[in-house]
Structure 1
Amino acid sequence: MFSFREFYSFLFIKTTTMKHLFFLIALLTINIAIIGQEITGKSTINSVTVFRQGVQINRSATVKLKSGLNQVVITDLPAGFNDQSISVRSLSRLEISAVQYRTDYTQDYESSPAYLELKNKLETTFRLKEDETVVLNSLKDEENMILANKNITGTNTGLTAEQLVKMSDFYRTRLPELKNKILASTRKITDIDKEITRLQKQMNEISSKNNQQYKGEIVILVESKKTMDELIEFSYIDPRASWVTSYDLRLESLQKPLNLQYKGKVRQTTGEDWKDVQLALATGNPQFNMQFPVINPWFLYYTAPLFGYEAGAPMMLDEVVQVRGSINVRAEKEEAAGEVTVAKENVTFMEFSLPGKYAIPSDGKEHEFKVQDNTLPGFYRYIAVPKLDNKVYLVANVEDWSKYNLASGNMKLFFESTFIGNNYFDANIVTDTLSISLGPDIAISTTREKLKDLKKTRFLSNKKQIQSGWEITIRNNKTVEAEILLQDQIPLSTDGEMTVEADELSGGKLNKETGVVEWNLKLKPGESVKKVIAYTIKIPKDKQVVLN
Structure 2
Amino acid sequence: MTNPDQANHPTQTNASPTEQRVVTAIAAVTVYSDRALVKRQGQTNLHEGNQTLLVSELPITLQVDSVRATGKGNIPVRLVEVRTERSFSQEPIAAKVAELTAQIEELEDQKLALQNDLNALIVQRDFVKGLGEKSIQRFCISLARDETSLEATQELLNFVGQNYGDYASAIATKHKAKKEVESKLSALIQQLKQLRSDRPQESYSLFVVVEAQATGEFTLEVSYVVQQTFWRPLYDIRVSEQGIILLSYLAEIVQTSGEDWLDPQLTLSTAKPGMGMLPPKLKPWYIDLNQPPVPTAIRTRQANAPNTPMMAKMSAPLAASAAAESFEFELDQVSTAEIKREGSTVSFAIGGGGDIPSDGNPHKITIFEREYQGEMKYVAIPQLSSFAYLQAIVKNPENGVTLLPGKANIFRGNMFVGTTKLANIAPGQEFKLNLGIDEGIQIERDLVEREVDKRFISGQRRTTYAYRLIVTNLSDRPAKLRLTEQLPTSRNEQIKVSLSRSNPTIQPKDLGILTWDLLLAANAKQEIYYQFTISHPPDITPVGLNI
How does the TM-score come out when normalised to structure 2? 0.62
**1:477–1:525 contact (8 Å) kept in structure 2:** yes
Residue ranges of structure 1 left out of the alignment (5+ in a row): 1-32, 110-198, 299-338
Cross-structure match for 1:218: 206
Are positions 1:520 and 2:507 aligned together? no
Whole-Å Cα distance in 2 between the matches of residues 293 and 511 of structure 1? 47
Residue 54 of structure 1 and its aligned partner are, at CA, apart by 1.6
Q: 1:209 to 1:360 in 2, by over 3 A?
A: farther
Matches within 5 A, 1:168-317: 208-209=195-196, 213-254=201-242, 257-294=244-281
Q: 1:81 to 1:34 in 2, by over 3 A?
A: closer
Say which of 63, 88, 96 aligns to 1:82: 63
Q: Secondary structure at the match of 2:387?
A: strand
**2:269–2:346 contact (8 Å) kept in structure 1:** yes
Residue 393 of structure 1 and its aligned partner are, at CA, apart by 1.5
Matches within 5 A, 1:6-405: 37-91=18-72, 94-106=78-90, 208-209=195-196, 213-254=201-242, 257-294=244-281, 341-346=337-342, 349-400=345-396, 403-405=400-402
Residue 491 of structure 1 and its aligned partner are, at CA, apart by 3.6
Q: 1:100 to 1:543 in 2, by over 3 A?
A: same
Moved more, 393-402 or 452-461: 452-461
Q: 1:296 to 1:73 in 2, by over 3 A?
A: closer
Q: 1:419 to 1:340 in 2, by over 3 A?
A: farther
Whole-Å Cα distance in 2 between the matches of residues 432 and 511 of structure 1? 30
Q: 1:34 to 1:441 in 2, by over 3 A?
A: closer
Q: 1:529 to 1:103 in 2, by over 3 A?
A: same
Whole-Å Cα distance in 1 between the matches of residues 92 and 507 of structure 2? 72
Q: Work out the percentage of aligned pairs sharing the same amino acid.
A: 23
One-letter amino acid of the structure 2 residue matched with residue 260 of structure 1: L
**1:49–1:56 contact (8 Å) kept in structure 2:** yes
Residue 497 of structure 1 and its aligned partner are, at CA, apart by 5.1
Q: Secondary structure at the match of 1:383?
A: strand
Cross-structure match for 2:471: 474
Cross-structure match for 1:311: none
Residue 246 of structure 1 and its aligned partner are, at CA, apart by 0.9
Cross-structure match for 1:30: none
Cross-structure match for 1:143: none
Moved more, 425-434 or 480-489: 425-434
Whole-Å Cα distance in 1 between the matches of residues 188 and 506 of structure 2? 57
Q: 1:34 to 1:108 in 2, by over 3 A?
A: closer
Indicate the RMSD between aligned Cα atoms, in angstroms: 3.9
Residue 459 of structure 1 and its aligned partner are, at CA, apart by 5.3
Whole-Å Cα distance in 2 between the matches of residues 270 and 500 of structure 1? 66
Residue 259 of structure 1 and its aligned partner are, at CA, apart by 0.8
Are positions 1:488 and 2:485 aligned together? yes
Q: 1:365 to 1:240 in 2, by over 3 A?
A: same
Q: Which has the larger radius of gyration?
A: 2
Moved more, 475-484 or 286-295: 286-295
One-letter amino acid of the structure 2 residue matched with residue 423 of structure 1: T
- The CA deviation string for residues 302-349 of structure 1, in whole angstroms up to 9 with x for no partner, is xxxxxxxxxxxxxxxxxxxxxxxxxxxxxxxxxxxxx96322234563
Whole-Å Cα distance in 1 between the matches of residues 228 and 516 of structure 2? 54
Whole-Å Cα distance in 1 between the matches of residues 69 and 445 of structure 2? 71
Q: 1:201 to 1:493 in 2, by over 3 A?
A: farther
How does the TM-score come out when normalised to structure 1? 0.62
Residue 378 of structure 1 and its aligned partner are, at CA, apart by 1.9
Moved more, 96-105 or 58-67: 96-105
Residue 507 of structure 1 and its aligned partner are, at CA, apart by 1.4
Residue 521 of structure 1 and its aligned partner are, at CA, apart by 2.4
One-letter amino acid of the structure 2 residue matched with residue 66 of structure 1: H
Residue 278 of structure 1 and its aligned partner are, at CA, apart by 1.1
Cross-structure match for 1:119: none
Whole-Å Cα distance in 2 between the matches of residues 479 and 445 of structure 1? 14
Are positions 1:453 and 2:486 aligned together? no
Whole-Å Cα distance in 2 between the matches of residues 242 and 203 of structure 1? 21
**2:19–2:51 contact (8 Å) kept in structure 1:** yes
- The CA deviation string for residues 448-472 of structure 1, in whole angstroms up to 9 with x for no partner, is 2223424779755565544333222
Residue 250 of structure 1 and its aligned partner are, at CA, apart by 1.2
Whole-Å Cα distance in 1 between the matches of residues 448 and 428 of structure 2? 37
Moved more, 35-44 or 289-298: 289-298
Whole-Å Cα distance in 2 between the matches of residues 423 and 258 of structure 1? 15
Whole-Å Cα distance in 2 between the matches of residues 41 and 340 of structure 1? 30
Residue 392 of structure 1 and its aligned partner are, at CA, apart by 1.0
> Number of aligned pairs?
391
**2:254–2:362 contact (8 Å) kept in structure 1:** yes
Residue 235 of structure 1 and its aligned partner are, at CA, apart by 1.2
Whole-Å Cα distance in 1 between the matches of residues 48 and 86 of structure 2? 25
Whole-Å Cα distance in 1 between the matches of residues 405 and 484 of structure 2? 29
Moved more, 408-417 or 473-482: 473-482
